[in-house]
Amino acid sequence: MVNNKLCSLLASVFISLGLIILATSNLNSNGVRAQTLNSNSIESETIDEMVLGNEDAPVVLIEYASFTCPHCRNFHEDSFLKLKKDYIEPGHVKYIFREVYFDKYGLWAAMVARCGGSKKYFGLIDLIFKKQDEWTTGDVDEVVAKLERIGKISGMSETEIQNCMQNNTKARALVEKYRENALKDDIKSTPSFIINGKLYSNMDYDKLTEIIENNLN
């Protein structure tokens, strides 16, 4: 059974952010509108980048994705696996994953994914995308319970997961870091990609490999 206190705290986390996700960037599946946010009390620099691959790779690929975005799930279930095998693991591409928060569920999923640290992060987001149709349905209690179950698969305890999801300071920092990055890179949809400094929208794997190869040559 889901801890009612946890659900209340999660709701308060989202509300206490002043709906930062909406108020500061008004982000939806179609775009981002920037507004000013007073971030004096938010330490976005404490948020680690989630990185795979060779630090000195000739191609740096940054993906912006939402855990509640179907197109992002499709990319991860197909193109990302090929990208990892063909370019990340051989050392040709340094891959950075940056979360986009369309809604509170996406933010909570990110908090669960980050709970296990960088070593468990990519395994957890694989599960989060794979089970997207399952955990994004139902009321708040059901969503929280499903996210907890995903976290437990990685070996985390219920207490560890709940502590992560109740971390208001971390939630604020995540949203502020996302806002800063999205404004800097002009992110208007997901998935979006920054490849060696240039912005691209969603694409199939053939187009992605063409861009990567052009940057390798």
The pTM of the full predicted model, rounded to 2 decimals, is: 0.83
What is the H or E stretch that residue 174 is in?
A: helix 168-185
Q: Which residues in the chain show pLDDT less than 70?
A: 1-45
Question: What is residue 32's predicted lDDT score, i.e. its pLDDT?
Answer: 40
- Report pLDDT for 143: 94
**Total tally of structural domains belonging to the chain:** 1
Domain membership of residue 147 as a residue range: 4-16+42-216
CATH, residue 142: 3.40.30.10
In a domain, residue 81? The reply is: yes
Asked if residue 101 lies in contact with residue 21, where contact means CB atoms within 8 angstroms, the answer is yes
191 touches 42 (CB < 8 A): no
pLDDT of residue 46: 80
Helix H segments across 17-85? Answer: 20-25, 70-77, 79-83
Q: Is 99 among the domain residues?
A: yes
For residue 199, report the phi and psi dihedrals to the nearest 5 degrees.
-85, 135
The answer to whether position 84 is within a domain reads yes
pLDDT in tens, 41-61: 444 448 999 999 999 999 999
Confidence (pLDDT) at 16: 43
Asked if residue 176 belongs to a domain, the reply is yes
User: What is the pLDDT, as a whole number, of residue 3?
Assistant: 53
Per-residue pLDDT at 6: 47
Q: In this structure, what token pair is assigned to residue 208?
A: 């992605």
Query: What single DSSP character describes residue 166?
Result: T
Q: Which residues contact 194 (CB under 8 A, 6 or more apart)?
A: 60, 61, 62, 64, 185, 200
